[in-house]
A and B are shown apart, each in its own frame.
Chain A
Amino acid sequence: MKKVYARPAYCMNCHLCEVNCIVAHSRSRDLFRAYKRENLRGTARVIVEERLPLSVAVQCRHCDDPRCVAGCISGAMVKDPETGIVYCQEDKCVGCWTCVAGCPYGAIRPGEKNGRPVPLKCDLCREADEPACVAGCPNRALVFEERRAGA
C-alpha cells in the first residue's frame, strides 16, 4: 500500500507537517480557525522527533497486524481491508489508550477533541489524494508512495 515515508536526510525540523496535519484534521480546514478557535495546537497526528541536527517525522506505519487494532477494546480502531489504512472511528473510542501502549513506533498519542477522547494517529488523510503532511512538506522529506517489502 501507499504509505508516508520519512526521509530524514531532508527533514529540516520545521514541523510544518504537524501544522498541516492539524489543519487537515480540523473542522474548519483553516489554519487560523484551527489554531485560534478550535484550539487544536498540539494535536498533530505526526510527530517530528528531534535529535538535532537530525529530525524526522514519525507517524503510523499502518502495520499488517496492527497492535492498536488488536488491543482496541471498543472496536473503534480498524484496518480498512480495502486501503490498508489503520484508523480510529472516533465516535466509538472510549479513551482506554491500549492503542497507545500497543504502538511499536510511538505513533499514537492520547488526545481529546470536543471533550471526547481521540487517539492522535495518522489516518493518511483518508479522504484526500495525498496526506496533508506530504503535500505541505517544503523539502520533500515526506513522500507518499508504494514501496515493495524489503525495498
Chain B
Amino acid sequence: MPTLSLMPPEFRVARDDNKCIKCLACVRQCGFDAQQYDAEDDRLYAIDANCVNCQRCVSICPAGALTIYKNPPPMRPNAHWTEGHLRNIVKQAETGGVLLTGMGNDQPFPTYFDRLLLNASQVTNPSIDPLREPMELRTYLGSRVEPVTLEECRDKTRTPLVPIETPIMFSAMSYGSISHEAFASLARAAKAFGTLFNTGEGGLPEDLYEYADHAVVQVASGRFGVHAGYLNAGRVIEIKIGQGAKPGIGGHLPGEKITAPVAETRMIPEGTDALSPAPHHDIYSIEDLKQLIFTLKEATRYQKPVSVKISAVHNVAAIASGIARAGADIIAIDGFRGGTGAAPTMIRDHVGIPIELAIAAVDQRLREEGIRNRVSLVAAGGFRSSADVVKAIALGADAVYIATAALIALGCHLCQKCYTGKCSWGIATQDPYRSRRLNPEIGAERLYNLLRGWSHEIKEMLGGMGINSIESLRGNRLHLRGVGLNEVELKLLGVKHAGEAM
C-alpha cells in the first residue's frame, strides 16, 4: 500500500454536537469502525475513510444528530471520466486487484419498466374495486399440460403445480451470503404470505426445515447442501445456471463467512472457501441439463417441479426454448439488474441484458413454438415496485422473484458492501454481533408488509384495467404502451406506443 492514498474519503460524517447526547449508539452500531469514542476525553469522532454510507448510525441515533454527506469528487470527473471510473482506477492502482462490489448493476442503462405505461378502464367496461370484489393473484407454477381430461385428473404421478398467493417470490439468497436471521425472515414471510423463498446455493439450515414447504431449493454448480432430504423437503427444485449480476461467473464465498452452522448446512469444512464453479461440471450442453433435470425428478419421484434459472443474455429466447424442451417446469430469468452478494464490478455492470426485453423475447418465442404452457416463466432482476411486477407479467412472466427489494425491506441501505461481510444491518454478515440486529420476527413482518402492499397495489392496477385475476394480465401486452421507445424496442417488447389505439 502506498502511504499516501490519492483517494480521499467518499463520505463525510457530520455530527451535530448540539444534539448529540453521547449515548454511543453510533459507535456500537457502525459495522465499519467509522464511528469512534475517546473515553478519556469523552469525545465522539468519525473516521470518514471507513464510512460506506450505510446509514446505520444515522438511523439508530436517537437524537438525530448525524448526517452523512457525499464528499465532492476527488478529481475532476467529466461525462466520460465519471467519478466511479476515477475512483476505481485509483483503487486498482493502489491494490492491483479485481474490483469487487455487491448488490445490482447501478449504471445508467435504460430501465424499460420506466418506459412502459399501464392501461385502465373508462366507460366501456367498469374498473373493479378490489375492496369490494374478489381480486385473484394466485398463480400456479409448473408445467401446464393440456388438454385437460377427466382421466388425467386422477393421475397422482403427475408433477403437482405449486400455487403462490401472489406472483412475487423471494429470489435466491444463500445462507452464508446472508445471515441466518435474514434467511429466516424470508422463510417466515414466504410461509405467512403463501409464497416461496429460495434457498440459494447454500442449502437449507436444519432449523428452517419447517419452512421447506415454501422453499425453492437450489442446486447450483457447487452443490452445497444438496442431499436427498433437501430435495424432497423443498416445494420446487431450482437448477441455478446463471445469475443476472454475474452471468458466466461462478461464486466465491470466503472462508470467514463459513462459520460452523454455515459449514454444516453447506456440508463443507468450517472456514474453507466455498467455490461455485462458473459452469456445472456435469452440464456442458442442453442434453446434460436434461439429464440433471430428470435426475432430480427421479430423486423426488416427479413430485417437485424443476426450475432452471439462467441469466438474461443475448440468446436468452433460444436458450429458454431449449430448457423448456429439456423438461424444465419453470424457467427463471435473471436480468442484468439482478443483485449479488459479491461480483466483479466489471461483470456486474457490463454483462447481460434487461429483464424486460428478455421476458418479452422468451415469452414470444415460447408462444411461437406453442410451448409456452409447458413452462412457467419467472422474471427476476431489479424489481422495484408493484408496477414493475405488473409490467413484467403483462410482458409474459408468470411471476417474479424479488431480492434487492426484500433486502431493502429488511433494512438494507444499498451501500453495496455485502462482500465485506461487515453489513451493519445484520443482513450480509455472519458475525453474530451484527446479524442479531435483524430480529427475524420483525424482518418477516416487514417482508410480509411489503408483499401485502405490493399485492394490494397489483390488485388496484388489475381492477383499474377491469380484470380480477392475474392470469388475465399474463402476456396481455395490450395493457402496456411504450413511451419514448424506438421501433425496435417496441417490436421486441411487443407493445404499441402510447397514443396508439388498441
Name A residues whose Cβ lies closer than 8 Å to a Cβ of B: 9-16, 18-20, 31-32, 35-36, 41, 52-54, 138-141
Contact = CB atoms under 8 A, between A and B. Distances in A.
A31 B436 contact: no
18 contacts: A10-B439, A11-B436, A12-B29, A16-B23, A16-B60, A19-B25, A31-B63, A32-B19, A35-B21, A35-B22, A53-B431, A53-B432, A53-B433, A54-B432, A139-B436, A139-B437, A139-B438, A141-B439
Nearest to B26: A14
A18 B437 contact: no
Contacts of B433: 13, 52-53
B63 to A, nearest CB: 6
Interface in B56-97: 60, 62-63
A18 B28 CA distance: 14
B310 to A, nearest CB: 38
B442 interface: yes
B405 interface: no
Contact of B439 (A15, A41, A140): A140
Given A53-B431, A53-B433, A41 B22 contact: yes
Interface string B8-40: 000000000001011111001100000000000
B452 to A, nearest CB: 20
B341 interface: no
Contact of A32 (B63, B432, B441): B63
Rank and list the top 6 A-B pairs by shortest CB-CB distance, nearest first. Answer: A53-B433, A35-B21, A12-B437, A10-B439, A53-B432, A14-B25
A140 B21 contact: no
Interface residues of B, number: 21
B494 interface: no
Contacts of B24: 15
B21 A13 contact: no
Interface of B: 19, 21-25, 28-29, 60, 62-63, 426, 431-433, 436-439, 441-442
Contacts of B432: 53-54
A15 B28 contact: yes
A12 B23 contact: no
Contacts of A11: 436
B282 to A, nearest CB: 40
A111 to B, nearest CB: 17
Contacts of B60: 14, 16, 138
A32 B22 CA distance: 11
Contact of B441 (A14, A18, A140): A140
Contact of A12 (B19, B426, B441): B426
B25 A16 contact: yes
A20 B60 CA distance: 13
A52 B436 CA distance: 11
Contacts of A54: 432
A19 B21 contact: yes
A96 B19 CA distance: 36
Nearest to A8: B436
Given A31-B62, A52-B433, A53-B431, A18 B23 contact: yes
A14 B29 contact: yes
A139 B25 CA distance: 14
Given A12-B426, A138-B60, A36 B21 contact: yes
A53 B62 CA distance: 22
Contacts of A138: 60
A36 B20 CA distance: 9
Given A32-B21, A35-B21, A16 B62 contact: yes
Nearest to A14: B25
A32 B60 CA distance: 16
Nearest to B22: A41
A15 B23 contact: yes
A17 to B, nearest CB: 11
A65 B28 CA distance: 36
Most buried by B among A14, A19, A31: A14
Nearest to A52: B433
Contacts of A19: 21, 23, 25, 62
Contacts of A12: 29, 426, 436-437
